[in-house]
Amino acid sequence: MRKNKFNLFPYLLLLPAILLMLAVNLTPILQGFYMSLLKLNQTTLSQFLDAPFIGLENYRRILFEGHSPIRAGLGFALRNTALYTLIVSTLAIAIGLGVAMLLNREFAGKGIARTLLLLPWIVPSYVVGTLWGFMWQRDVGIVNVVLVDYLHLLDEKPFWLLGSNSFWAIVIPTVWRAWPVMMLIFLAALQAVPEDQYEAATLDGVSKWQQFLHITIPILKPVIVIQFMFQIIDNVYSYNIVSMMFGGGYPGEWADLLMPLLTRQSFSYWLFGQGAAVSFIMMSIMLVFVGIWMQSFKRSLANDE
């Protein structure tokens, strides 16, 4: 039997793209890690990468010194980021899947409806933050005008950008922008589901809800798991909407997230070395999370088989 010879030519064709991708992705990571090992602050910023080398001192100060300026408000930001990530990711996937199932049916104007529903995703995130910042205004914002003046659901106009309401003021716009792309992905996945399975289930008297639980969800499970992971990563690093909605300032203890906190504190105190260290810690945590998530997913698929 003739053995297949290893063909090096396709890999040589891919080599320039691979080298470019490595350079684009690894160079900022390596530079960021090196910056985290430097005493890079307002007095040494002019030296940049020639600033004094202090090793892991920035990591020690962040992790073990309670009076580090970078750690001010870190507890609130961690709490908010965890809740924000969980709620936004879950709602974006749930709404996206629900709308995708509605669009998976044939009806007049389906193409137009799909295009219009994608509009929130097309709007840049910094525009979304600015737009919703005006919409949440207490006296003239359209949200309070509709809720109080037209629908009479509330007795008085609440402050959406103050107190605990500010948490929902950042959650709702993020979900509004995120679910359309989930809808598009799930719609493409649903079109690959064999119709004969639904027809057989219908003939056996299986309800639509049971079909959804035992046919649709198992088939879409790989897509749901991967998209949920991507949503978690995106939302942990969320920055634009909060920053634009609150003008880059302090949004309060209920709207502050990790990335706005990190950026604000790093630039306020000129502690760029410590800021780089926090960024590298966050990246390391997310890499561990992705590794555990993917291994659990692989085991889950193996058990299903």
How big is the chain, counted in residues? Answer: 305
Angle at CA 39, nearest 5°, toward 33 and 40? Answer: 75
Q: Give the end-to-end CA distance of the chain in Å, rounded to a whole number.
A: 33
Cβ(100)–Cβ(128) under 8 Å? no
**Could you give the percent of the chain with pLDDT greater than 70?**
98
Nearest to 88 by CA among 278, 282, 237: 237
Q: How confident is the model at residue 235 (pLDDT cuts 50, 70, 90)?
A: very high
CATH of 75-255, one of 1.10.10.10, 3.40.605.10, 1.10.3720.10, 3.40.50.1820: 1.10.3720.10
* Average pLDDT, rounded, for the chain: 91
Partners of 38 in the β-ladder: 53
Q: Is the pLDDT of residue 1 over 60?
A: no
- Cα gap 118→177, rounded to integer Å: 9
Confidence at residue 106, expressed as pLDDT on a 0 to 100 scale: 84
* DSSP class of 98: H
